[in-house]
Amino acid sequence: MFQVRIHGRGGQGVVTAAELLAVAVFDEKRHAQAFPSFGSERTGAPVVAYCRISDHEIRAREPIMEPDALIIQDSSLIKQIDVFSGLKPGGFVIINSNESADDLLLTTKILVPHTTTILPATELAMIHLGRPVPNAVLLGAFSALTGVVSLQAVTNAITEKFKPKIAAGNVAAATAAYEYVMNQVAAHA
């Protein structure tokens, strides 16, 4: 079981990100369960959504308290709430930000060994989509960093979900994010 928690703000498509991830996993003939943390879906308010990924049927329905991966769609949340709570040692962190790890105080916030990528997902969305919606973009980065789901499955899910024009923009942005993270990883290797 691989568990993902997505943090963002109302309007950024947090729940849609979890849905897209689940559909991508389903396209790969595996099991996924995506669900929102309910009741807080107001524009700008902190929103959390979850996605479980497994080769087997998923039965448990508790919130994800010990994620294997975190997607932070809005880095301003890092200073407001404990988004890193319960992150598993060796877990993955994907952050949408123009700031550095030092600026974001990550060393003081994340207390377990982890692999992080920070990328300007909103900028990538603006370039390719023309709208500041980073959710699908970050799934491209998630695919690159974790290898848990293929970029192809992610772009398939995007294409299924959105109308052609918006889908094309999101696919381009997610692909750009995938390459961005792949280059980061190569630079570190």
Partner 1 sequence: MLRQVEGSKAVADAVAACKPEVICAYPISPQTHIVEGLSQLVKAGSLPHCEFINVESEFAAMSVAIGASATGARTYTATASQGLLFMVEAMYNASGLGLPIVMTVANRAIGGPINIWNDHSDSMSQRDSGWLQLYAENNQEAADLHIQAYRIAEEMSIPVMVCMDGFILTHAYEQVDIPTTEEVSEFLPPFKPRQVLDPMDPVSIGAMVGPESFTEVKFLAHQRMIDSIAKIEEVAEDFERQFGRKTGGLLRSYRTEGAETIVLALGSVIGTLKDVVDELDLDGYSIGLVGLTSFRPFPFDAVRTALQGAKRVIILEKAFSTGTGGIVAHDVAHAIEGLGLDDLTLIAGLGGRPITIASLRRYLIDAMDGQVERLTFLDLETETVDRELVKERALQ
Which SS3 state, helix, strand or coil, does residue 164 take? helix
Q: Closest distance between partner 1 and the C-beta of residue 101, in Å?
A: 32
Residue of 55, 56, 60, 107 interacting with partner 1 (CB under 8 A)? 60
Distance CA 164, CA 9 (A): 25
N- to C-terminal Cα distance for the chain? Answer: 27
Structure token pair of residue 159:
């294409």
From the list 2-10, 54-62, 136-144, 176-184, the region that binds partner 1 by CB under 8 A is 54-62
The answer to whether residue 166 forms part of the interface with partner 1 (CB under 8 A) is: no
39-53 burial: b if 16+ Cβ within 10 Å, else e: eeeeeeebbbbbbbb
Amino acid type, 94: I
Per-residue binding string, partner 1, 86-125, x by CB under 8 A, is ----------------------------------------
Measured CA to CA, the distance from residue 136 to residue 173 in angstroms comes to: 8
Q: Is 65 in the site for partner 1 (CB under 8 A)?
A: yes
If one asks whether residue 153 binds partner 1 (CB under 8 A), the answer comes out as: no
Which range, of 14-22, 92-100, 114-122, 140-148, touches partner 1 by CB under 8 A? 14-22
32 binding partner 1? (CB under 8 A): yes
User: Rounded CA gap, 20 and 22, in Å?
Assistant: 5
Site size toward partner 1, by CB under 8 A:
22
Residue 58 interacts with partner 1 (CB under 8 A): yes or no? yes
Q: Which of 4, 14, 17, 22 binds partner 1 (CB under 8 A)?
A: 22
Is 152 one of the binding residues for partner 1 (CB under 8 A)?
no
- Using DSSP bridges, classify how beta strands 2-9 and 69-72 pair: parallel, antiparallel or unpaired: parallel
- The bridge status of strand 91-96 relative to strand 31-36 is unpaired
Q: Which residues bind partner 1 (CB under 8 A)?
A: 15, 18-19, 22-23, 25-26, 31-36, 38-39, 58-63, 65
